[in-house]
Structure 1
C-alpha cells in the first residue's frame, strides 16, 4: 500500500526517502526498509509492506489494555500488527515486534471485517495494541474512521514515539491512549529502547492538551528504572506537565527477550511507587502484573 506523500519526503540529491511516520525519521535507500521493517522504498515511493496484515485479533476487557477509566466494564476489539519503531531489550511482545519472521504468521483482514468483528462481539471500541500502532498508520486510520461511523471508540496502546505529522493525524481519530512511559532517563531510552525520551514527553503533553483520555504505564525493572528518585521524577512530570487526573499504572517486569538476566520486579517497589504517586496527588494509581 502506497503511503500518503505527506508522510515522507524525497531527496533531490539521492535515491533515499525520509519516512516521517515516526520520530526515527528513517532515511531509506531504494529497496530497503526502515527501523520498523514495515515501510519500504520502492522506486522512490514509500510503501507499507504489511497493509491489511495483522498478528492478532481478540475481544478483551478494556482494563487489560490497561485502561481503567475509559468505558470501564466494556470489551474492546484488540488488533495487533508486526514490527516496532523502538528496539526495547525487554520487549514483552518481541515475537511480533522483532522476531516475527521466526514465530508468527500474518492474518489478512480488511478494515470492514475488523469493524464487523468488533460489533459482533459487542465491543464498544477497537484497540490498536500488542505492537506499536503508529507504524501501521494508513491501515489503522482507515479502519478507525470506519469504526467511528459505527459509534465505536478508538484506542491506541502505544510507546508515544510519533513524528509531529503522524501525531497530528492520530489525534483526529483516536479517543483514548495508554502510553508506555518507560523511564525518565534519557540514557535508558537511548541504550535500552533506541529512542529519545524528550520526544515521548513532548507527545504526552500534546495528547493531554488536546483533551484526549490519557493513561500512562511505567514498567518498573530492577536496577534499571526502579530508583525512588526516578519514580518521584516521573510522578512530578505527570503532576506538573499533565494533571493529577491522569491515571498512572506501575507494572511488574519479568525476564524476557534480551533481558533474561533480570529478576522479577520486587513487589515492594511497586507498593512504594504507588505511595509516592498518591502522595504527589495523582488521583488514580494502579499496579499491574502483581
Structure 2
C-alpha cells in the first residue's frame, strides 16, 4: 500500500526518503525499511508492507487495555499488528513487535471486516493495541473512520512516539488513549527503549490539551525506574503538566525478551507508588499485574 506523500519526504538528490510517521524520522534508502520494519522505500516511494495484515483480533474487556474510566464495563474489539518504533529491552509483546514473521503468522483482513466483527461482538469501541499502532497509521485511520461512522469509539494503546505530523492525524480520529510513560529518565529511554523521553512528554501534553480521554501506564522495573525520586517526578508531571484527574496505572514487570535477568517487580514498590500518587493529589490510581 502506497503511503500518502504527506507522511514522508523525498530527497532532491537521492532516492532516500524521510519517513514522518513516527518520531524516529527514519531516512530510508531505496529497497530498505525503517526501524519499525513495516515501511519500505520502493523506487523513492514509501510503501506500508503491513497494510491489512494483523497479528490478533479479539473482543476484550476495555479494562484490559487498561482503560478504567472510558466506557467502563464494555467490550472493545482489539486489533494487534506487527513491529514497533521503539526497541524496548523488556518488551512484553516482543513476539509480535520484534521477533516475528508476519507473512506466515499474519491475518489478512479489511477495514470493513474489522468493523463488522466489532459490531457482531457487541463492542462499543475498537482498540489498536498489543503493538505500536502509529506505525500502521494508514490502515488504522481508514478502519477507524469507518468505525466512527457506525458509532464505535476508537482507542490507541500507544508508546506516544508520534511525529509532529502523525499526532495531527491520530488526534483527528482517536477518542481515547492509554499511553506508556516508561520512565522519567532520558537515559532509560535512550538505552532501554531507543527513544527520546521529551518527545513522549510533549505528545502526552498535546493529547491532554486536545481534550482526549487519556490514561497513563508506568511499568515499574526493579533497579531501573523504581526509585522513589523517579516515581515522585512522574507523579509531579502527571499532576502538574496534565491534570490530577488523569488516571495513572502502575504495573508490575516480569522477565521478558532481553531483560530475562530481572526479578518480578516487588509488590511493595507498587503500593508505595500508589501512596506517592495519592499524596501528589492524583485522583485515579490503579495497580496492574499484581
- 2 CA distance for matches of 1:195 and 1:65? 23
Unaligned 5+ runs, structure 2: none
- 2 CA distance for matches of 1:161 and 1:49? 20
Structure 2 partner of 1:285:
285
* Count of paired positions: 290
CA contact (8 A) 2:8 2:21 kept: yes
Whether 2:241 is the aligned partner of 1:241: answer yes
Structure 1 partner of 2:120:
120
CA contact (8 A) 2:115 2:146 kept: yes
**TM-score (normalised: structure 2):** 0.99
Instruction: Please give the residue correspondences for 1:224-235 in structure 2 after superposition, counting only pairs within 5 Å.
Output: 224-235=224-235
State the Cα deviation string for residues 131-162 of structure 1 (Å, max 9, x = none).
00000000000000000000000000000000
- 2 CA distance for matches of 1:185 and 1:164? 22
Whether 2:79 is the aligned partner of 1:79: answer yes
- 2 CA distance for matches of 1:104 and 1:184? 38
- 2 CA distance for matches of 1:203 and 1:192? 20
- 1 CA distance for matches of 2:84 and 2:104? 15
How far 1:283 sits from its partner (Å)? 0.4
CA contact (8 A) 1:95 1:103 kept: no
- 2 CA distance for matches of 1:265 and 1:60? 25
The runs of 4+ residues in structure 1 deviating greater than 6 Å are: none
Whether 2:186 is the aligned partner of 1:186: answer yes
CA contact (8 A) 1:96 1:104 kept: no
Whether 2:3 is the aligned partner of 1:3: answer yes
How far 1:101 sits from its partner (Å)? 2.4
How far 1:102 sits from its partner (Å)? 8.9
Q: In 2 relative to 1, CA 97–104 (structure 1 residues): closer, same or farther, beyond 3 Å? A: farther
Instruction: Please give the residue correspondences for 1:36-55 in structure 2 after superposition, counting only pairs within 5 Å.
Output: 36-55=36-55
**TM-score (normalised: structure 1):** 0.99
Structure 2 partner of 1:30:
30
RMSD value over aligned CA atoms?
0.9
Unaligned 5+ runs, structure 1: none
